Structure 1
Amino acid sequence: MIVRDLETASATGRKIVSPDGNWDSVRMLLKDDNMGFSFHITTIYEGADFGMHYQNHLESVYCMSGEGEVETVADGKKYPIKAGTLYILDKNDKHILRATREMKMACVFNPPLHGTEVHNKEGAYELEADTVTD
């Protein structure tokens, strides 16, 4: 059994802060945990407005608090996000995420992340990265 708490994970190297200052992510479950997916608690900072395109991963995102929107680039559709909203990037959707109020998100990635990933210039995570250890 694996048991982790958010506070300890944040303090022990599992908290990754984006270089662009838009978000931070506590990587609660990673590839080395051998579950087939990774699980993160991510904070999108108020005023953040940035593009992503997960070409190597599928992602499911559940908003626990805050407000914003996600826009799919292919068709320009905007979807409001608030507590209780789930959005799923099931087709490697290129998208823009905006936070009008700081958002706390629970995120699941498949394949799982290694731990230290931040977005590359296309807004994607690479398949290989450094592993976070406890």
Structure 2
Amino acid sequence: MIVRNINSLCGTDREVNSDNWSSTRLLLKDDGMGFSFHQTIVHPGTETKIWYKNHLEAVYCVEGSGEIEEDDGTKHNISPGTIYALDKHDKHTLRAFSELKMICVFNPPLLGPETHDSQGVYPLLTEFENVSK
């Protein structure tokens, strides 16, 4: 059984930060669950272009407001209780109107240090040494 409290992960390698967001990775590949599970805080007033070409992701909003814009221009409001699933590796833009608290699940699971590249893609890592490649 795995039991963790998110507060115990602050300041560890399971907390990953970028200019637009901060992600605490509660479950990762090495936990052996077949998916990774994160709490991501998206900073207010930010816009993040994302394309998970290597992963499927489901995102559930628990706090805040924003929108997701599909590559074709279709926009969807994001508020508490909204879930969106990137079941086709969808390119999209996430805008946070206020601080967004999101719960995210990735398949395949992340190893932990992943951040978006210039295309908004998380690399498909097989080991930590690949982060700098």
With normalisation by structure 1, the TM-score equals: 0.93
8 Å Cα contact 2:52-2:122 kept in structure 1: yes
> 1:87 deviation in Å?
0.5
1:25-81 C-alpha deviation (Å, 9 max, x unpaired): 0000000011100000000000011200000000000000000000001x2100000
- Structure having the higher strand fraction is 1
TM-score, normalising length: structure 2: 0.93
**Matches of 2:12 and 2:21, distance apart in 1:** 18
Q: What do residues 80-134 of structure 1 show as CA deviations (whole Å, max 9, x unaligned)?
A: 0001100000000000000000000000000000000000111011111528xxx
Answering whether residue 1 of structure 2 is matched by residue 4 of structure 1, we say no
RMSD between aligned alpha carbons? 1.1
Stretches of structure 1 lacking an aligned partner (at least 5 in a row): none
Partner of 1:81: 78
Does 2:127 align with 1:109?
no
Distance 1:50 1:41 in 2: 16
Shift of 1:14: 1.0
Runs of 4+ in structure 1 off by over 6 angstroms are: none
Tell me the residue number matched to 2:20: 22
**What is the percentage of aligned positions where both structures have the same residue?**
53
Gaps of 5+ in 2: none
Q: Report if the CA contact (8 A) 2:49-2:93 is conserved.
A: yes
Q: How does 1:1-134 map to 2 (within 5 A)?
A: 1-18=1-18, 21-73=19-71, 75-128=72-125, 130=128
